Chain A
Amino acid sequence: KAGVTQTPRYLIKTRGQQVTLSCSPISGHRSVSWYQQTPGQGLQFLFEYFSETQRNKGNFPGRFSGRQFSNSRSEMNVSTLELGDSALYLCASSWTSGRTGELFFGEGSRLTVL
């Protein structure tokens, strides 16, 4: 069974640009969550999508957005990039958006903003 796949794995952008990251969940999983990992803040929740609907969003500015398609694949977009957006962006999937919280993570997309 294929795991969570994230593309691209690495990318470099400059301030002011925008970026789109992609995530393909484990087959059959309908929930996709996104997290940002930085050395100073650790892993922080960005948002979760279930059946193409955003369930909730973490404490991030509106420059961070996402969407989920009917096949459960998800994308997240960051507009007007800032230096502080440099981070590892992790996508995680689960079968359902439930209480148990067991998430299956991808390897992440490492974004560097220059």
Chain B
Amino acid sequence: DQQVKQNSPSLSVQEGRISILNCDYTNSMFDYFLWYKKYPAEGPTFLISISSIKDKNEDGRFTVFLNKSAKHLSLHIVPSQPGDSAVYFCAARSGGGADGLTFGKGTHLIIQP
């Protein structure tokens, strides 16, 4: 049973436009959400996070939105740049964090020139 789902395996966006990556979760015990970015042959790198007590967190070009009632979060990248081309993983953690992070399977974002 996949508790964190990224239903789009890939997404193609034109440079300069907005990229929107989506993530759904089923476990209502999750209270902290993160986005990681991964380039080929590298480990994932932390991008941005949000606590369940918030509905938005912004960091430069990256904004994460959380809709708890819909169990949905999204990552917005504005404007999209060629260096943003990577695989993006959504991850979630429940209280205490003892169970590690639960990751989605990732969305491959391709920024077209």
Residues of A within 8 A of B (CB): 4, 33, 35, 41-48, 55-56, 58, 90, 92, 97-108
Contact check, B104 vs A103: say whether CB atoms are below 8 A apart: no
CA gap between A7 and B89 in the complex, in Å: 24
Residues of B within 8 A of A102 (CB): 34, 46, 49
CA gap between A56 and B95 in the complex, in Å: 14
Residue of A nearest to B41 (CB): A107
Residues of B within 8 A of A (CB): 31-32, 34, 36, 41-46, 49, 89, 91, 93, 95-106
Identify A4's interface contact among B43, B49, B95, B104, CB under 8 A. Answer: B43
6 additional contacts, CB 8 Å, given A92-B43, A100-B49, A101-B49?
Answer: A33-B101, A43-B89, A45-B100, A55-B98, A90-B43, A105-B43
CA gap between A105 and B39 in the complex, in Å: 12
Contact check, A103 vs B106: say whether CB atoms are below 8 A apart: no
Identify A105's interface contact among B44, B100, B102, CB under 8 A. Answer: B44
Identify B97's interface contact among A98, A104, A106, CB under 8 A. Answer: A98
Residues of A within 8 A of B102 (CB): 45
**29 A-B residue pairs with CB within 8 Å:** A35-B100, A35-B101, A35-B103, A41-B105, A42-B89, A42-B103, A42-B106, A43-B44, A43-B89, A47-B100, A48-B98, A55-B98, A56-B100, A58-B99, A97-B97, A98-B97, A100-B32, A100-B97, A101-B32, A101-B97, A101-B101, A102-B34, A103-B101, A105-B43, A105-B44, A105-B45, A106-B43, A107-B41, A107-B42
Whether A33 contacts B100 in the complex (CB less than 8 A), given A100-B32, A101-B32, A102-B34, comes out as yes
Q: How far is the CB of B77 from chain A (nearest CB, A)?
A: 19
CA gap between A107 and B93 in the complex, in Å: 22
CA gap between A102 and B51 in the complex, in Å: 12
Contact check, B43 vs A107: say whether CB atoms are below 8 A apart: yes
Residue of A nearest to B100 (CB): A45
Residue of A nearest to B103 (CB): A43
Q: How far is the CB of B46 from chain A (nearest CB, A)?
A: 5
